[in-house]
Structure 1
Amino acid sequence: MSALLELHGVHAWYGRAHVLQGVDMHVAPGEIVALLGRNGAGRSTLARAVMGLVERRGRMLWRGRDIGGLRTFEIARMGVGYVPESRDIFPGMTVEQNLMLGQKAATAGRWTIADIYRLFPPLARRAGVQAQHLSGGEQQMLALGRTLMGDPVLMLVDEPAEGLAPQVVAQLAACLDELRRQGMAILLIEQKLDFALDVADRVYVLGHGAVVFAGTPAALRAAEPVRREWIEL
């Protein structure tokens, strides 16, 4: 199966700080790929590079087309959704208003607000509540739901389990698994090792801005030296 997203020798910078050091990776349709590594390894920078939010160089192919020169909104319109670590929901707007803002302006997508409420039942119960009054888990569900309303084919999801209670993380894992069953491709940037390995089909580990491991979750579980040097604190 051909890849949706391919990165070949991707470098990225924040000003003079050279963060990504020639990353090669790919994400295929209908799979969850986990991107692991310690803070500062370049995981979030990689997502921002794909979305055109930082200075970058290298080949970034979306369905075979180079998107390196495109602007963020153009990349999003091609089918790439981005859920940043900060979630970026609108706190003074209700759950439903936030979801409506995620809709494609021109045409109706595959996802409706009713679909989002079926996937995330807590949001249905809080539809008229301002986002600032939601729990952390509910805010993460809202960020995911709003991105789905834009009808992505691939979602870049940055640290979704950060700060969430274990039972909420388990609910989140079930939702990601459901999205995969529906054909969604997901690049999951995550710090929680067990959560990532439980849901992922494949894994990349970044260290100092470069890929230091690529393989299956089972292979990473068996690679204790890799985990000790590049992931575990």
Structure 2
Amino acid sequence: MTRHDRAASSLIVQDLHAWYGASHVLQGVDLNVQPGEIVALLGRNGAGRSTTARAMMGMVQARGQMLWRGEQWLGRRTVDIARAGIGYVPESRDVFPTLTVLQNLALGVRRGAASSAWTLADTWRRFPQLERRAHTPAHALSGGEQQMLSLSRTLMGDPALLIVDEPTEGLAPMLVDQVAHCLEALRDRGRSVLLIEQRLDIALQISSRLYVLGHGKIAFEGSPDALRLDAAVRRDWIEL
């Protein structure tokens, strides 16, 4: 991939502001994600992490810039952003409860796509629990299985960039490892991941760069090693 191609495939967010009604939640967030990179967005509850994802996906009132493949996408319809190759896994999971695992996964396939880099076989290999429950309605799955299903359904659309919000929340350690390995597999295939997390250990383990949000602004940007050494940032903006 040439330097020009990398720039065209990058996600660049600049001066992002977002509101819920009169509440000014994001106050000038800057971040970027390069191809084949896992970038973590950390911070305490209420810092604006999920709002950042929702603003990028056109789900809340926002202004600023979100450049993806050289085009401005901020403020466009959520469905158009998804069709442009940006996948979103919300914290709420949002599976279709009356549909089976297989039916949920089928809904994630992008229409008109000739092929996908992420297949049903990939899902079964990464999450064998889902294969065993392929014909089970989603409402009968455990919370961890629903999280795996939500993630896998988004991956069936073959996004070039995945925004995933709190994928390890409430999961048992074994399932946390499965999710981490899944995100690393995406990275190894040249996909990009913006990982919104509260768990510092997972973010430090799989991310190449990290941002820390505090009061709607970026309080830290750097490598995992830099954050490990910055006790003040961890104390003031991450640790409870």
- TM-score where L is the length of structure 2: 0.94
SS of match in other structure, 1:24: strand
Asked whether the 8 Å contact 1:109–1:149 carries over to 2, the reply is no
Code of the residue aligned with 1:34 in structure 2: it is A
Q: Decide which moves more: 126-135 or 220-229.
A: 126-135
Q: Do structure 1's residue 104 and structure 2's residue 110 form an aligned pair?
A: yes
Whole-Å Cα distance in 2 between the matches of residues 80 and 207 of structure 1? 25
* Equivalence for 2:14: 8
Q: 2:176 aligns with which of 169, 190, 205?
A: 169
**Partner of 1:94 in structure 2?**
100
1:84-163 alignment, distance < 5 Å: 84-110=90-116, 111-163=118-170
**Deviation of the 1:167 alpha carbon:** 2.0
Task: From 76, 98, 102, give the equivalent of 1:70.
Answer: 76
Shift of 1:157: 0.3
| Unaligned stretches of 5+ residues in structure 2 | 1-5
- Structure 1 stretches (4+) deviating beyond 3 angstroms? none
Do the aligned partners of 1:27 and 1:185 also contact (CA within 8 Å) in 2?
A: yes
Q: Which residue of 1 aligns with 2:199?
A: 192
Gaps spanning 5+ residues in structure 1: where?
A: none
Is 1:204 equivalent to 2:211 in the alignment? Answer: yes
Match of 2:204, SS state, is: helix
The yes-or-no answer on 1:39 pairing with 2:31 is no
How many percent identity over aligned positions?
62
* Contact 2:29-2:217 at 8 Å conserved across structures: yes
C-alpha displacement at 1:98, in angstroms? 0.2
Q: Which amino acid aligns with 2:32?
A: H
RMSD, aligned CA: 1.1
Which of 57, 60, 74 aligns to 1:54? It is 60
Deviations 1:190-230 (A, max 9, x none): 01111111111100000000000000011001100000000
